[in-house]
Amino acid sequence: GLSYTWIFNNNTLYVQEDSRRFVSQETGNLYIAKVEPSDVGSYTCVVTNSEAGQSVWGPPTPLTLRSDGVMGEYEPKIEVRFPETTYAAKGSSVRLECFALGK
């Protein structure tokens, strides 16, 4: 089992306490809604393999705010990765996730 953690400015990012951020434990992606000046800094992903007892740190990725309003390659888009068919038993609960990316 792999698990993903993000480090923000050399401190562990506790997304459970923050309704604007989410880390997918399936892909490791970090999602931030409504970016604020306090989100500016350096982000590093840490992947841990609990069975092997090892962690690997990715390179730091800086996040900066653009003041010109131009988003370039990060134009708004909807990220949907649903299976072609989703089956559910009557009375069960189903969760489908959809993310809006960009500005």
Q: What is the mean pLDDT of residues 8-33?
A: 84
Beta strands in 1-103 (DSSP E): 2-8, 11-12, 21-23, 30-32, 41-49, 54-57, 61-63, 77-80, 98-101
Report residue 40's pLDDT band, with 50, 70 and 90 as the boundaries. Answer: very high
Range of the domain at 38: 2-101
Question: CATH number, domain at 46?
Answer: 2.60.40.10
16-20, 53-57, 67-71, 84-88: range with lowest mean pLDDT: 67-71
Domain count within the chain: 1
pTM comes to: 0.64
